Amino acid sequence: MKNLTVSGTVTGKQYIGGIAGRIDEGAAVYGCVNKSEVFGDSQFGGVAGINYGVVTNCANAGNIGDNKNIGTDSICGGILGENRGGITRCVNAGTVGVMYADEIKGGIIGYNASENTAADCYYLWGGTGSIKGVGRGTDNTKRVNSASRLKSGETAWLLQDGQDGLVWGQKLGTDDYPVPTSDSGKQVFKVTFATQSNPNFAERYANPNGTVTLPDAPTAEGQVFSDWSPNPGSGNIFDENTPVTDDITVYASERTPFGGESGEIPLDTVYGEGVTADLSDYIAYGDTTDTADKFTYTIEEGNTIGASVNGDTLTVPKDTGAGEYTLKIKAEEKAPLFNLMSVDDYGFEPVTLTIKITVAKAAPTASVQPNELVFKDREQYLVTGRTDDGTLVYSTSKDGDYSEKVPTGSDAGTYTVWYKVIGDENHTDSEPQSVEAVIRNIESIRIEREPDITTVIEGMPLDTSGLVVIADCGNDETFEAAGYTLSGYDTSEPGDQTVTVTYGGKTAQFNITVTPKSLTGIELTHTPDKLIYYQGDELDWSGMVITAVYDNNTTEFVDSDACVIEVAEFYGGKRAIISCATDDAEIYYTIDGTDPTTSSDKYTAPFELTSNADIKAIAVKADMDDSDVEEQLVNVEKVAAPKANVKGEVEVGTAVKLLCSTSGAEIYYTIGDSLDENNYKKYTDDIIITGSMTIRAIAVKRGCVMSDGVTLYLHRSAARGAERRSKPRAA
């Protein structure tokens, strides 16, 4: 039964109620009001005689029993005669019969046989003959001590508090008690008046856009009251003409008065927040409160933090370092007025305000993000982090040893990385926090594209240009692998061969053909030592060096004992190869242009050059003369660092081009803070800006030293609403 109001007279013997005689289990009565007089011999009440169900948000204003024809063993209540179910948020504003001393009667329930405590139910105490809320049984009801309090709106607000939608209301000044209603004009709002010492100094109630009377002004020792305000110091005043549109708390504007002696005013703030203070709150004279027009303020001493005074407002900068500071501020009248409370009847003497400012250390902030990792048979950094508020340290356990070294992992799995900030002079130490980083397993790899050249001449290196290897991580997630290894082939052996590609513990294969080298010609590398003969002399070929030239860019000496210096190119520089046709000859060399001796470096294997060199070499064998010195100048160029065609702030959608001034150079790049070279990919197309981005790039060329790495920070344009991003600090 819902939203029913009953008026009249209801009489009977047992189980008598204004709304229902009996409410069975599973039934409910909601939002009903009884205004009828209800009489019975036993078990009768304003809403029901007996309840096994649920009674919620109901009110009674009728007289229950009213000392008329009540049996000596009657059970009666303002809402329920007897309760064996549930009851919440009800109010009784009527009277309950009190003729016989042995009656069981209550302002809400006569006999409560249920565990339900009726904790949110209210009854008019004086109107029910000063009886209890529950005649017998559990009683947590609340009494309203007078009809005026029931009429004030307080009870309506308490019954409504916490319920969704408008349930209770009361037309203040007209209705004597609250009733269930959906009429928004009857909604009751609460105004709480608070002081420095009492957060519930007074309470008032109003309907929408209504007004309230103000309580008497608070009187606190050492304080001067001026007005009520939702936010003191803002100039917003709450008075008897202020319309009430919601629940609101207003605060007393109280000031500490100063006379001719100084007092200490504590101001607390936190680094990075700053603080403002209304100096007028600390000056009081007579009944005048408009101190901004009467006083000027000057910072006399201690202003090492750049504090400022504008009018009567003191501002401490946000960047004031943690610590304690003392300011001496002089307050003096602009134009002394006669008859003010002062020492000379003409105005106040200047007053010195001592402001003691305590700036506490702020809590630090840090950004630590797990890296996107895939198993690569080597250690990898698990996270990338930064902080501007101290030192970021890491550990692999919450209570373990912390250091600035970023934790690494090599095996596939989930890692927990703990981190905290060791605060600087303006920040506290943070509590340990953790993130989880995952190194995912590679399920398989495949050859997406074979090298451009799969036919190799005997003795030539395998050129992997064009080779594309794809790693498959499952769930349709793939990426182009870099840093793979090649094995299983030997280009010194002609024939069909299979090359095995290994990455992340997985393998894939492709085929190559090694063709025999062919002689393309011979060269006279060194003429014989003797070139002038006389008639009859025998021909002497000593010193003559003949070199065979093959189509694999290699050469071999023919019947010669001199050294041959060959130079091959690779990405990163050049490689020197020195050989001698004389079996078991030992080779010695220098790279600084000095003549080699047997005390010079002994040649055992090809060596790499990353800078210009003047190579000289000799071959030595026991019982034979040393070979002539062979010399070759090698020039090794360093690739110029790449650049972008834009910098600084750019708009989203901008196409970024990467450029290199070294002809023929290739550019590789990665986006983000990762320093892992395996994340770099070859630059072929423009990079489209989607927000603030960090681009790292290098340039390479065969036979040249790799360029310096560059980091390009591109910020989304502020004109498009993007937030400027500061340069990240390396983890």
**What is the DSSP code string of 552-608?**
TS-EEEES--SEEEEEEEETTEEEEEEEESSTT-EEEEESBSPPP-TTSEEP-S-EE
- What pTM was computed for the model? 0.41
pLDDT the model gives residue 260: 37
What does each C-alpha distance from 16 to 65, 287, 508 come to in angstroms?
A: 11, 64, 91
339 confidence band (pLDDT: 50, 70, 90): very low
pLDDT the model gives residue 557: 64
Task: Report the chain's terminal Cα–Cα distance, integer Å.
Answer: 68
Task: Please give the Cα distance from 134 to 140 (Å, whole number).
Answer: 8
Asked if residue 540 and residue 427 are part of one domain, the reply reads no
Query: Using an 8 Å Cβ cutoff, are 574 and 704 in contact?
Result: no
What is the rounded average pLDDT of the residues 50-61?
Answer: 96
The number of C-alpha atoms within 13 Å of 146 and in the hemisphere containing its C-beta is 3
Task: Please give the Cα distance from 254 to 266 (Å, whole number).
Answer: 15
Task: Please give the Cα distance from 27 to 20 (Å, whole number).
Answer: 11
Q: Which helix (H) or strand (E) holds 500?
A: strand 495-503
pLDDT the model gives residue 627: 84
Asked if residue 291 and residue 146 are part of one domain, the reply reads no
Write out the two tokens for 41. Answer: 């011999």
pLDDT the model gives residue 128: 56
Assess if residue 727 is contained within a domain. no
The tens digit of pLDDT for each residue in 431-490 reads: 999 999 998 888 899 999 999 999 999 888 999 999 999 988 877 888 888 878 999 999
pLDDT the model gives residue 720: 44
pLDDT the model gives residue 312: 84
The tens digit of pLDDT for each residue in 488-544 reads: 999 989 999 999 999 878 899 999 999 988 878 878 877 877 888 888 887 776 777
What is the rounded average pLDDT of the residues 403-432?
Answer: 94
Buried b vs exposed e over 168-193: b needs ≥16 C-beta within 10 Å? bbbbbeebebbbbbeeeebbbbbbeb
pLDDT the model gives residue 131: 81
What is the domain extent for residue 713? 643-720
Query: Using an 8 Å Cβ cutoff, are 561 and 617 in contact?
Result: no
Assess if residue 725 is contained within a domain. no
The tens digit of pLDDT for each residue in 359-388 reads: 999 999 999 999 988 887 778 999 999 999
Asked if residue 622 and residue 545 are part of one domain, the reply reads yes
Amino acid letter at 632?
Answer: Q
Domain final residue pick, 131, 158, 180: 180
265 confidence band (pLDDT: 50, 70, 90): confident
Radius of gyration of the chain (CA): 48
Q: How many domains does the chain have?
A: 7
Asked if residue 33 and residue 163 are part of one domain, the reply reads yes
pLDDT the model gives residue 101: 54
Task: Please give the Cα distance from 652 to 604 (Å, whole number).
Answer: 56
The tens digit of pLDDT for each residue in 275-301 reads: 998 887 776 554 444 555 667 889 999
Short-list 288, 287, 295, 359, CA closest to 327: 359
Using CA of residue 88, residue 90, residue 92, residue 96, what is the dihedral sign? negative
Give the count of beta carbons closer than 10 Å to the beta carbon of residue 217: 12
Domain final residue pick, 500, 515, 530: 515
107 confidence band (pLDDT: 50, 70, 90): very high
Short-list 353, 351, 329, CA closest to 265: 353
Assess if residue 496 is contained within a domain. yes
The DSSP string of 194-238 is: E-SS-TTSEEEEE-TTB--PPPPPP--TT-EEEEEESSTTSS--B
Assess if residue 728 is contained within a domain. no
The tens digit of pLDDT for each residue in 618-664 reads: 999 887 778 888 898 999 999 999 999 988 888 888 899 999 999 99
pLDDT the model gives residue 223: 64
Asked if residue 449 and residue 435 are part of one domain, the reply reads no
Task: Please give the Cα distance from 183 to 196 (Å, whole number).
Answer: 37
* CATH label of the domain that carries residue 345: 2.60.40.10
Assess if residue 582 is contained within a domain. yes
Asked if residue 629 and residue 555 are part of one domain, the reply reads yes
Query: Using an 8 Å Cβ cutoff, are 538 and 444 in contact?
Result: no
Secondary structure class of 679 (helix, strand, coil) = helix
Assess if residue 731 is contained within a domain. no
The tens digit of pLDDT for each residue in 710-725 reads: 888 888 775 444 344 4
Asked if residue 157 and residue 93 are part of one domain, the reply reads yes
Short-list 690, 62, 701, 556, CA closest to 77: 62
Task: Please give the Cα distance from 371 to 392 (Å, whole number).
Answer: 17
pLDDT the model gives residue 340: 38
Query: Using an 8 Å Cβ cutoff, are 177 and 191 in contact?
Result: no
pLDDT the model gives residue 219: 81
Q: Which of 260-274, 318-332, 574-588 has the lowest mean pLDDT?
A: 260-274
Q: What angle do CA 289, 294, 300 make, to 5 degrees?
A: 115
Asked if residue 194 and residue 84 are part of one domain, the reply reads no
* CATH label of the domain that carries residue 491: 2.60.40.3630
690: pLDDT strictly greater than 90: no
The DSSP string of 45-79 is: ESSEEEESSEEES-EE-S-BSTTSS--TT-EEESS
Q: Which of 113-117, 126-130, 441-445 has the lowest mean pLDDT?
A: 126-130
Amino acid letter at 678?
Answer: N
Using CA of residue 716, residue 718, residue 722, residue 723, what is the dihedral sign? positive
Interacting residues of 372 by C-beta distance below 8 A, sequence separation 6+: none
Backbone φ and ψ for 341, nearest 5 degrees, come out as -70, 105
Assess if residue 210 is contained within a domain. yes
Asked if residue 192 and residue 167 are part of one domain, the reply reads no
Asked if residue 41 and residue 16 are part of one domain, the reply reads yes
* CATH label of the domain that carries residue 545: 2.60.40
Residue 704 CB burial class (10 angstroms; 0-12, 13-18, ≥19):
buried
Assess if residue 35 is contained within a domain. yes
Give the count of beta carbons closer than 10 Å to the beta carbon of residue 352: 16
Asked if residue 458 and residue 333 are part of one domain, the reply reads no
Task: Please give the Cα distance from 455 to 213 (Å, whole number).
Answer: 100
Asked if residue 238 and residue 295 are part of one domain, the reply reads no
670: pLDDT strictly greater than 50: yes
Domain final residue pick, 468, 497, 515: 515
